[in-house]
């Protein structure tokens, strides 16, 4: 029992409509595989850890409102005093 080609093509067409792919029975190269690829830029750009807020930034931002201490800065002052 053979199925006519036209009927198979109709089936393929319906398949393409349902799964939102391009109908291309001859297998012509349309470059759709490029469009199907996922963008890898965000993953690559997130490789190195980004700079977080430092104590200096917090001090500059909140100034007189928030009192905190900076160990490295205090060490530096001690070193200068010696």
Region binding another protein by CB under 8 A among candidate stretches 6-14, 22-30, 55-63, 67-75: 22-30
Q: Is 29 in the site for another protein (CB under 8 A)?
A: yes
Alpha carbon 25 to its chain centroid, in Å, reads 34
Contact 9/25 with Cβ under 8 angstroms?
A: yes
At its nearest, how many Å lie between another protein and the CB of residue 51?
4
At its nearest, how many Å lie between another protein and the CB of residue 60?
14
What is the token pair recorded at 46? 């997130």
- Which one of 6, 18, 39, 80 is in contact with another protein (CB under 8 A)? 39
7: helix, coil or strand? Answer: helix
What is the token pair recorded at 49? 């850890």
- Radius of gyration over alpha carbons of the chain, in Å? 32
Site residues (vs another protein, CB under 8 A)? 28-35, 37, 39-42, 44-45, 47-52
């Amino acid at each position: 029992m053979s199925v006519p080609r036209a009927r198979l093509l109709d089936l393929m067409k319906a398949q393409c409509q349902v799964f939102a792919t391009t109908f291309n029975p001859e297998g012509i190269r349309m470059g759709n595989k490029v469009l199907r690829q996922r963008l890898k830029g965000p993953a690559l750009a997130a490789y190195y850890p980004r700079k977080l807020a430092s104590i200096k930034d917090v001090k500059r931002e909140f100034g007189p409102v928030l009192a905190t201490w900076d160990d490295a800065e205090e060490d530096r002052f001690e070193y200068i005093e010696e």
